[in-house]
Amino acid sequence: MSEDTKNPEVEVEETTGTTKAAKAEQNLVNANVSPEDFDWESFETGLDEDDRKEKAELEEMYENTLEELNENEVFQGKVVRMTDREVIVDIDFKSEGVISLNEFRYNPDLKVGDQVEVMVDKREDKNGQLQLSHRKARTLKAWDRVNEVNETGEIVNGLIKARTKGGMIVDVFGIEAFLPGSQIDVKPIRDYEQFVGKTMEFKVVKINPEFKNVVVSHKALIEADIEEQKKEIISQLEKGQVLEGVVKNITSYGVFVDLGGVDGLIHITDLSWSRINHPGEVVEVDDTINVVILDFDEDKTRIQLGVKQLEAHPWEALDETIKVGDKIKGKVVVLADYGAFVEVAPGVEGLIHVSEMSWSTHLRSAQDFVQVGDEVEAVVLSIDREERKMSLGMKQLSPDPWTDITSKYPVGSKHSGTVRNFTNFGVFVELEEGVDGLIYISDLSWSKKIKHPSEFCNVGDKMDVVVLELDVAARRLSLGHKQLEENPWDAYETKYAIGSAHTGTAVNVFDKGANIQFEDLDVEAFAPARTLDKEDGSKVKQGEELEFKVIEFNKEFRRVVVSHSATYRDEEIKEAKKAMENQQAPERSTLGDLDSLAELKKRMEEGN
């Protein structure tokens, strides 16, 4: 490339460089200074030494200021200007910071000149503006404050912002803390909404730094106050002292009363002189009532209270004219198997024992006669005002059926009664309420052999009876049933006389003999084994119909003994006749006769 085509810019640069160098060389010559001592920086920047020094100081100050703006540090700033959307704050930095106006919603009175706490959010945004945060500063400071009051136990104010599951959200130093429902008050709270928007005092009870959770309590402050009041109240408690309290809780067994920080219990039996089924019949929650201190333990932590003791005992107000034999009305308040308690006046009760409810001797349950709530009339049987006891009777309102028993149920009279119950030895038959008689098992039937009365009749059956004996003093009546008919054994005594012959069937044959059935079904005779020999030498078999002779008859025990062999053995016949004659004329019996009978019995047993 020729010199004529060189780049003009290069020429200018080279020319300028040559000019600067020429000027510098000229300055060195004019200043008579060597190149080593020449102030090249001043020559380059155009600033003299003093100007350069001032610039360095400013640069150092700037750098130091940037280092001081730690993003984790809280600064005090001054509001210098406010717009519709932003707050401009001066923190003595190279430029003013900007904060969104929304961060000051909690403080609607903010104005220019106010001091506020801020933290650096961004040193420079896209416009080179310093961004600050008031919310971060408040939160950081709030956590420091919350930790501080948690350690010291200091009471703080908080605004209840909203209802949440299980409790409330409370603003404490700008932090949203949780207030459990159980920590709002010492009393159960039903309506949480009534607290929203209220500012209350709280105590920080729990902090979780990891999850940034804070739990506060208002109940703790109340309990602290109550504890002080409780100590003062307890120190002044005395038995018999009357206090005013508020019903705090009601249970099935009693009422808990708040005595101003100390709880006492009124047992259900100490609420009213009258019987009650539940304390709710007398008082309600939040009722203000007067109570008397009945007792307390050594530490005075369990206080027993009473209400009815504030009034005179009802027995003291009971009509003095009431005496034994008087008729009195009342209401059944309690039932038991053994009787019923009847309230004859408020707080005054009498007992009607079940035995006094009916003249019947068959004791039943009181529920068979009366029910709770029934209005009844009774007779006063006994009254003890000192012991405060009264016994009543209902059966006394009707005449005693045994009063004229001899005229109603004379011996030999016939009646109809109801079978009430059995015993092993007989049947009890009720002729009317309060009048029972006993039929012994032997008086049920002339002919049937009964082992237990249930084989003959059932409870509830109607039965005709005849009065056999009457003991008015012991209130005992002996009855009979079989006596309503003639005794068939009176006729059998003649028909089955000793020596008489009858045709019978051997219905059961066994080792010791056989049972013989005659035409009279009520009569079943016994034939000893020795008397079952037939004339041909064989034995009587079961089901065989043969002739038998009676050798023994006992009407009292309904016993008949027969013999087949006696029908063909004259000697046995004679001995049987002789025994019959001796039985008919016992006054002529001699020792010899008795010896003959003994010998006959011996021979018969031996089978001769």
Residue-wise pLDDT tens digits, 552-579: 888 777 888 999 888 887 666 566 566 6
pLDDT value at position 169? 92
Lowest mean pLDDT among 129-138, 297-306, 466-475, 594-603: 594-603
* pLDDT given for residue 38 in this prediction: 52
- Residue 193 confidence (pLDDT) above 60: yes
Q: Which pLDDT band, with edges at 50, 70 and 90, does 121 fall under?
A: confident
Contact 254, 268 (CB under 8 A): yes
C-alpha span between 100 and 84 (Å, rounded): 10
pLDDT at 576: 58
Q: How far apart are CA 437 and CA 469, in angstroms?
A: 10
Nearest residue to 201 (alpha-carbon basis) of 213, 185, 181: 185
Report, as an integer, the average pLDDT of 117-132.
74
Q: Which of 514, 521, 523 is nearest to 494 (CA)?
A: 523
pLDDT at residue number 240: 86
Burial class (CB in 10 A: 0-12, 13-18, 19+), 99: buried
Provide the strand spans (E) within 186-312. Answer: 199-208, 213-217, 242-250, 254-258, 263-267, 288-296, 303-306
Residue identified by tokens 């039932």 is 335
Q: How confident is the model at residue 355 (pLDDT cuts 50, 70, 90)?
A: confident
- In 3D, which of 471, 443, 437 has the Cα closest to residue 456? 443
pLDDT for 561 equals 92
- At residue 310, φ and ψ (nearest 5 deg) are -75, -10
Confidence at residue 473, expressed as pLDDT on a 0 to 100 scale: 83
**Domains of the chain, with CATH numbers?**
75-138 (2.40.50.140), 153-222 (2.40.50.140), 236-310 (2.40.50.140), 314-397 (2.40.50.140), 405-475 (2.40.50.140), 488-606 (2.40.50.140)
Which pLDDT tens digit goes with each residue over 249-281?
Answer: 999 999 999 887 788 899 998 898 888 889 988
Average pLDDT over residues 5-22: 46
Which of 287-301, 342-356, 370-384 is the least confident region?
A: 287-301
* pLDDT at position 19: 52
**Residue 251 has what pLDDT?**
92
Q: Are 563 and 549 in contact (CB under 8 A)?
A: yes
pLDDT in tens, 48-89: 666 667 666 655 655 555 445 566 677 888 989 998 888 888
Residue 485: what pLDDT? 79
User: For the ranges 39-48, 123-132, 390-399, 494-503, which has the lowest average pLDDT?
Assistant: 39-48
pLDDT of the residue at 321: 83
Q: Are strands 130-133 and 115-122 parallel, antiparallel or unpaired?
A: antiparallel
CB of 327 within 8 A of CB of 379?
A: yes
Q: Looking at the predicted structure, is the pLDDT value of residue 397 above 90?
A: no
Instruction: Return the pLDDT at 311.
Output: 83
- The full DSSP string for 353-375 is EGGGT-S-SS---GGGT--TT-E
Q: What angle do CA 547, 551, 555 make, to 5 degrees?
A: 110
Under the phi-then-psi rule, with left for phi > 0, alpha for psi from -120 to 50, and beta for the rest, what region is 246?
A: beta
Answer whether 246's CB lies under 8 Å from 294's CB.
Answer: no
Interval 498-532: pLDDT, tens: 888 899 999 988 989 999 888 876 778 999 998 89
Quick one: pLDDT at residue 266?
92
